[in-house]
Amino acid sequence: MINDLWYKNAVIYCLSVATFIDANGDGIGDFQGLMQRLDYLQGMGVTAIWLMPFQPSPMRDDGYDISDYYGVDPRYGTLGDFVEFTHGCRQRGMRVLIDLVVNHTSEQHPWFQAARSDPESKYRDWYIWSKKKPKDAAKGMVFPGVQKSTWNHDSVAHAWYFHRFYEFQPDLNTSNPEVQAEILKIMGFWIQLGVSGFRMDAVPFIIAAKGAGAKIQEHYNMLRTFREFLTWREGEAIILAEANVLPNTDMKYFGAFGERLQMMFNFEVNQHLFYAMATSDSRPLVKALRATKSRPATSQWGQFLRNHDELDLGRLEPKQRQAVFAAFGPDPNMQLYNRGIRRRLSPMFQGDRRRLELAYSLMMTLPGTPVLRYGDEIGMGDNLALPERNCARTPMQWSTEPNAGFTISDKPILPVISEGPYGFQHINVADQRRDPHSLLNWMERIIRMRKEVPEIGWGDFSFVSAGRPDVLAMRYTWRNNSVFCVHNLCPEPREIHFSIDHGEERRVLVNLLSDDHSESDARGRHSILLEPYGYRWYRVGGLDYLLKRTPV
Ligand code: NOJ
Ligand code: CA
């Protein structure tokens, strides 16, 4: 096993340059501003930053509609600023991942403009066309309720083009070898500028056979090509896949020998985690964790709570989904695309600190690498007056200064939350820095501890029976060390009794987060009283574990 696979025990933080901080006062976040906040991120313990798209774009899908893959949108800065940024990250020991959005381009992209206006252009075959309106034009929309079809008529081309997402995002013909070569070139370009890999957008659609009447078929081998190219150019670079797929296809994405993509977001666990938090029933979560357990040793899950999209609950059973809606998004305006909740994390829990800590503690102790969303570290809220997913993309709240210290302009790119309990006057970084009990400082401490528990990123996990479904008890083992984590999902205190199998050491559980350690009775049984939504992280044995850890 290669010891230095950095992504196995990383802490990833995602942010959008546009809404992080604005240095030049035009109301739009930029790289100059972001660079001044790198010490903040490093101080929190972040080891990798994932940037949402920042390339030139008409910005009709928050930058996921790219019109030039080889540039920086001038609103955010220049390529020069970008290189300063990656360099600044490297100096602080942080890696950079960027979004790779190559399932589709913007309709404004010169490739599409050439493709539609000239049937002889080589770019014509870079997209997916049909002379007649395909029969399935009203099927397969990713944004139901907003998106009307997957095929649009183009009056210039006199033909229909395919778009899996919005109509201004024509799909690239990813089976065309020239398009594939271009994707590699894009990766090569950004690798050269200092990134350590990509969050690859919409992977299942990139590898799917496309076209009118196309049979369902995935070209998984494409993934191996992407990966081989990437690691040939830069050994430590990875691809983190956005692929919301069923557990039985996970291995196709990782590759049986780990030869395809290194990381995937665990959507299966994410949805069942929210179900568990909504109902205090851990059983479906346990099932999801088991279903996604096997993966090649070099591969890794990305575990997350919320991201820039809606909380997609599409894989839950209808009854389960309704339970999550009822608990966390009862109002139709909180829901989106008939399948998800568009709110930020904190308002879903009515700002309840106990539940926020429980959620983060769970995320950090699930098998994989945690991925945090900007603003969640201070418990930011949402603005449901904004359309679709924009409600959870408002500017970062830095201080009590006007516009939360995000910009000195009075026209921020999206309104800053400035009213109610989540307004910047109450929720901001500056205040929370000064308060040792703030969520921000809690987050910093828990991240610090998470990094010191590589058992979670690298080890094997098993479930320990706590005798009741509202308490989740998991144990990690790695290199002769063992860690035990327990979470009370319910609003009542719970007492649990259990034993752990780890030689004589099983008698002592050393609490990693507070003082109350646990000693077993003579038979090795522990009894722990958990407060409502309480959680514990223990080391089995003692703190001399490092001396006992085996080197391989
Ligand atoms: C997935 C991204 O996460 C989402 O924000 C975007 O709208 C679609 N892909 C289309 O690129
Ligand atoms: Ca700016």
- Look-up: residue for tokens 């992407």? 226
Asked if residue 552 has pLDDT above 90, the reply is no
Question: Average pLDDT, whole number, for the chain?
Answer: 97
pLDDT band of residue 2 (cuts 50, 70, 90) is confident
Model pLDDT, residue 174: 98
pLDDT band of residue 501 (cuts 50, 70, 90) is confident
Stretch 434-455: mean pLDDT: 98
User: Which ligand places an atom closest to the C-alpha of 66?
Assistant: 1
pLDDT band of residue 542 (cuts 50, 70, 90) is confident
Nearest-CA residue for ligand 1 atom 5 is 309
Mutate to test the pocket of ligand 1, among 309, 389, 391 (most ligand atoms within 8 A of CB): 309
- Which atom of ligand 1 is found nearest the CA of 309? 5
Over residues 9-58, the pLDDT tens digits come to: 999 999 999 999 999 999 999 999 999 999 999 999 999 999 999 999 99
- Which atom of ligand 1 is found nearest the CA of 101? 11
Stretch 235-264: mean pLDDT: 98
Q: How far is CA 423 from the centre of its chain?
A: 25
Over residues 250-290, the pLDDT tens digits come to: 999 999 999 999 999 999 999 999 999 999 999 999 999 99
Global pTM reads 0.98
Q: How many angstroms separate the CA atoms of 129 and 162, rounded?
A: 6
Asked if residue 228 has pLDDT above 80, the reply is yes
How far apart are the CA of 76 and the centre of ligand 2, in A? 6
Q: How many angstroms separate the CA atoms of 358 and 496, rounded?
A: 17
Q: How many angstroms separate the CA atoms of 34 and 431, rounded?
A: 20
How far apart are the CA of 8 and the centre of ligand 2, in A? 35
Task: Specify the pairing of strand 508-511 against strand 518-519.
Answer: antiparallel
Burial of 193 (0-12, 13-18, 19+ CB in 10 A): middle
Ligand 1 pocket, Cβ-based, cut-off 6 angstroms: 61, 64, 101, 165, 201-202, 242, 308-309
Asked if residue 502 has pLDDT above 80, the reply is no
Q: How many angstroms separate the CA atoms of 94 and 92, rounded?
A: 6
Report the percent of the chain where pLDDT is more than 90: 95
Stretch 224-231: mean pLDDT: 98
How far apart are the CA of 369 and the centre of ligand 2, in A? 32
Asked if residue 248 has pLDDT above 90, the reply is yes
Residue 148 CB: number of other CB atoms within 10 A?
A: 13
Query: Catalytic annotation on 516?
Result: no
Query: Catalytic annotation on 171?
Result: no
Nearest-CA residue for ligand 1 atom 3 is 309
Over residues 350-376, the pLDDT tens digits come to: 999 999 999 999 999 999 999 999 999
Model pLDDT, residue 549: 84
pLDDT band of residue 505 (cuts 50, 70, 90) is confident
User: Which ligand places an atom closest to the C-alpha of 142?
Assistant: 1
Nearest-CA residue for ligand 1 atom 2 is 201
How far apart are the CA of 251 and the centre of ligand 2, in A? 42
Catalytic residue among 62, 242, 376, 382: 242
Over residues 404-417, the pLDDT tens digits come to: 999 999 999 999 99
| CB-based contact 208:248 (threshold 8 Å) | no
pLDDT band of residue 543 (cuts 50, 70, 90) is confident
Q: How many angstroms separate the CA atoms of 1 and 512, rounded?
A: 28
Could you give phi then psi for residue 147, rounded to 5 degrees?
A: -90, 130
Nearest-CA residue for ligand 1 atom 4 is 309
Model pLDDT, residue 551: 83
Over residues 74-132, the pLDDT tens digits come to: 999 999 999 999 999 999 999 999 999 999 999 999 999 999 999 999 999 999 999 99
- Which atom of ligand 1 is found nearest the CA of 307? 3
Report the percent of the chain where pLDDT is more than 70: 100
Model pLDDT, residue 518: 95
pLDDT band of residue 1 (cuts 50, 70, 90) is confident
* 3-state SS string for 274-325: HHHHHHCCCHHHHHHHHHCCCCCCCCEEEEECCCCCCEECCCCCHHHHHHHH
